[in-house]
Structure 1
Amino acid sequence: MCTLALAWRAFGDAPVALAANRDEALDRPSEPPTVRTPVSDGGARYVAPRDAEAGGTWVGLSEPGVAVAVTNRWLDADREGDRSRGLLVRDCLEADSAEAAVRTVEREVETRSYDGFNLVLADAVAAFCLSYDGGLAVTRLDPGVHVVGNVGGVVNGVERFAVPDRRREFGAERVDSARRIAAELVPEPGESSDAWLDRASDVLADHEYGACLHGDGFGTRSFTRIRTTAEPGTAPEFAYADGPPCETPAQPVSLSPSFGRD
């Protein structure tokens, strides 16, 4: 995934509202989102698509209400990661809170190596952006809108970009895209979470903002929209477009009646 916009505790009715594009090789196989059983003892159920090649995922929502999304982080040199970043996302989705997911990542990077990533974790209580380039940096997020991509983003209202020299030209385009998306997605007075997600969906599909990409063998493969709820007993929302959002409408993913209602 290469561009994500998170509104955390920006709306009273939705602790987490997330809209995200995934950019990937067009021939990399994947499976659509569904409710998945945890692989670890005591882990949480979660809804997520699946990378059919490496077995992990790039975005998802757990039954306890933890939203997780990852982007690649471009570095000056590729790291020889011994484990897929998508499996790390799966590990986080099985945690019972965003705080616990952070601890999971901290333990993982002590014993295994990964290629660079930016990882967003959010639930009703806390939200974080984790950046990894061989060392892990953890930023606790303030309430508001945050935009993250391959070269960093706008987090807590501060620009946090790092463009590697080898991708200077395209990296500058990614910086400009994130800046413009962050400026456009500032919540409007009286705006609801649904209305904001509608705007975020339109922005990530609009080529003028540079988040929906079409290339030779590579481009935006899917779009995901997640909304949790502050109302007890109300199910969260998860919608998915299996294709570039400029031409593929997001469809609701069917969740079990009990999912996320406890």
Structure 2
Amino acid sequence: MCTLTLAWRAFGDAPVALAANRDEALDRPAEPPTVRGDDGRYVAPRDAEAGGTWIGLSDSGLAVAITNRWLDADREGDRSRGLLVRDCLESDSAEAAVRSVERDLETRSYDGFNLVLADDDAAFLLSYDGGLAVTRLDPGVHVVGNVGGVVNGVERFAIPERRRAFAEERVDSARRIAAELVPEPGESGAEWLDRASAILADHQYGACLHGDDFGTRSFTRILTSTDPTAVPEFAYADGPPCETPVEPASLPPSFTGE
């Protein structure tokens, strides 16, 4: 499971502010973020087992992040969901990435997912359980996890019976995080992102998990700017954010609008 918080066009200085915890098996190998793709088009960490990623930012300002979607029965997907994220990061825009996913699903299948796509101009939540639902996001704060989330100010949860007890904990966590992350008067995108980052590291909100074999493996924060000369922020903690320093990734000049 994972928890993803997104403020899209909620602040005049920051079109995209995103903070996310990745929860995964503790022994699944991963590589830290670096510039990847054709001609260094995006920055992302890498799942060293399947070759894809769970989160990234392209040089066009497109942020992409995915969570698993819990279903009552596992799907036999024929491709890793992380490879779909990688494909989206090669797209020119959020709109183009939606079309890319729709084309891909004509011939491929995946296990359930919630996929967030956001750039300066548009943002979407793509939910897949064997069929694809595309939701255009309104300006504001959105919280997404494995059982859905709070999107466009509306609770959109789907609780699988086989995981009801744990899923209800995830619903409660998403509700409380969404309530805490309502933008404050005069708040900047960077200030909001600091608050979101702190909440995802705070155990009272239930998003930073510790287990023997499974738990929060990493944390990522992304911030873009309305200033075309500003380099976006992409920072990463290679471990649970409650105890792991967040380090900025090095981005090349191509990540500015110049």
* TM-score of the alignment, normalized to the shorter chain, above 0.5: yes
- Offset, 1:110: 1.2
Partner of 1:29: 29
Structure 2 CA distance for aligned equivalents of residues 116 and 258 of structure 1: 34
Partner of 2:207: 211
Partner of 2:58: 62
- Offset, 1:109: 1.0
32, 41, 46: which one pairs with 1:45? Answer: 41
List per-residue Cα deviations over 1:115-168 (Å, max 9, x = no partner): 000000000000000000000000000000000000000000000000100000
List per-residue Cα deviations over 1:196-244 (Å, max 9, x = no partner): 0110000000000000001121000000000011011111110000000
Structure 1 CA distance for aligned equivalents of residues 256 and 115 of structure 2: 22
**What does 1:1-262 align with in structure 2 at a 5 Å threshold?**
2-38=2-38, 45-262=41-258
Structure 1 CA distance for aligned equivalents of residues 10 and 40 of structure 2: 26
- Secondary structure in 1 aligned to 2:76? coil
- Offset, 1:44: 7.0
Calculate the TM-score normalised by the size of structure 1: 0.97
- Offset, 1:261: 2.9
Q: Name the aligned partner's letter for residue 221 of structure 1.
A: R
Q: Name the aligned partner's letter for residue 76 of structure 1.
A: D
Q: What RMSD in Å do the two structures reach over aligned CA positions?
A: 1.0
Calculate the TM-score normalised by the size of structure 2: 0.98
Equivalenced residues, count: 258
Q: Name the aligned partner's letter for residue 235 of structure 2.
A: A
List per-residue Cα deviations over 1:68-100 (Å, max 9, x = no partner): 000000000000000000000000000000000
- Secondary structure in 2 aligned to 1:111? coil
- Secondary structure in 2 aligned to 1:110? coil
Tell whether the 8 Å contact from 2:228 to 2:256 is kept in structure 1 after alignment: no
Structure 1 CA distance for aligned equivalents of residues 84 and 40 of structure 2: 14
- Offset, 1:177: 0.2
- Secondary structure in 1 aligned to 2:230? coil
Tell whether the 8 Å contact from 1:44 to 1:94 is kept in structure 2 after alignment: no
